[in-house]
């Protein structure tokens, strides 16, 4: 195996990462001989670790928490979507030797919603809960799907308003505090808050959904998240977690590195079955 076939995911913690399983499955589809491993990087040591990886001939890195912003600063060149996101989850050594940073989270979300789940974004009323890094990372691809309207709400209204200011050149959108929800209804609700990780739920009005509304939580797990349970209780037409997004953003990274588009449905099923059996 040549050094150009070496890849890894950097994070802390990283033992739980499903990236090695996903990328090994992608490589097996085409019989590609490549090595992918999870690497725990100490706090304050990201730049040195990444520099050493690429100096040793490594071809590409995935970046998970808490190093996405450090990867953004480390990259020598950035894609437009990485610039928008202010964070990088994919680093690549390009043919000219430059280390390029990209962000595939938003593409992964849109592909899961549209291609895998069969939901529509175009022409729909879209609500995003949360205005942190997760929301920022998916905003541009969602806006480019041309929703009828897009509203961002956040506990700190100023953070949502800042995203509106930064992304309004792509398409019209609005943002502020949860009070903006009132009795408004939405066709698609994306939970980009960290509430599900803590087993909590954003404060949402019971009138938020219609009988045709779809609800998506960026968090995933073996059991439905509190947001997913809330959506089902309020008769959402369809509910999903972020496992498909995880696989689809990895598929985009794989394509950037290898110029091969892997099949994702079987990998999503494999991960789901593994999680449920565990």
pLDDT in tens, 34-81: 899 999 999 999 999 999 999 999 999 999 989 999 999 999 999 999
Which range, of 115-119, 125-129, 162-166, 203-207, averages the lowest pLDDT? 203-207
Average pLDDT over all residues of the chain: 94
pLDDT of residue 33: 72
**pTM for the complete prediction?**
0.94
Q: Which residues are catalytic?
A: 68
Over pLDDT 90: what percentage of the chain?
90
Task: Provide DSSP, the chain.
Answer: --GGGEEEEEESS-TT--HHHHHHHHHHHTT---EEEEEE--TT-HHHHHHHHHHTT--EEEE-TT-HHHHHHH-SEE-HHHHHHT--SEEEE-TTS-EEEE--HHHHHHHIIIIIS----TT-EEEEE--SHHHHHHHHHHHTT--SEEEEE-SSHHHHHHHHHHHTTTS--EEE-GGGTTT--EEEEEE-SSGGGGT------TTSEEEEEEEEES---SS--HHHHHHHHTT-SEEE-THHHHHHHHHHHHHHHHS-----HHHHHHHHHHHHH-
Q: What is the pLDDT of residues 190-245, one digit of tens each?
A: 999 988 877 888 889 999 999 999 999 999 989 999 999 999 999 999 999 999 99
């Amino acid at each position: 195996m040549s050094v150009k076939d070496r890849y890894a995911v950097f994070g802390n913690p990283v033992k739980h990462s499903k990236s090695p399983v996903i990328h090994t499955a992608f490589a097996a589809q085409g019989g590609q001989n490549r090595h992918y491993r999870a690497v725990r990087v100490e706090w304050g040591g990201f730049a040195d670790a990444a520099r050493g990886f690429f100096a040793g001939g490594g071809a590409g890195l995935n970046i998970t928490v808490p190093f996405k912003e450090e990867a953004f600063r480390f990259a020598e060149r950035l894609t437009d979507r990485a610039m928008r996101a202010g964070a990088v989850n994919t680093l690549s050594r390009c043919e000219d030797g430059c280390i390029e940073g990209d962000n595939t989270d938003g593409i992964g979300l849109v592909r899961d919603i549209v291609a895998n789940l069969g939901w529509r974004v175009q022409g729909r009323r879209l609500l995003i809960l949360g205005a942190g890094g997760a929301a920022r990372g998916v905003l541009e691809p969602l806006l480019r799907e041309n929703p009828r309207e897009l509203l961002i709400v956040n506990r700190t209204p100023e953070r949502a308003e800042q995203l509106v200011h930064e992304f309004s050149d792509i398409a019209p959108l609005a943002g502020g505090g949860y009070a903006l929800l009132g009795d408004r209804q939405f066709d698609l609700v994306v939970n980009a808050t960290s509430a599900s990780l803590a087993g909590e739920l954003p404060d949402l009005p019971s009138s938020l959904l219609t009988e045709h509304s779809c609800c998506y939580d960026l968090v995933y797990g073996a059991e439905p998240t509190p947001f997913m349970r809330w959506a089902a209780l309020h008769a959402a037409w369809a509910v999903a977690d972020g496992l498909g997004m995880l696989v689809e953003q990895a598929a985009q990274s794989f394509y950037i590195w290898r110029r091969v588009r892997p099949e994702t449905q079987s990998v999503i099923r494999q991960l789901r079955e593994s999680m449920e059996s565990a």
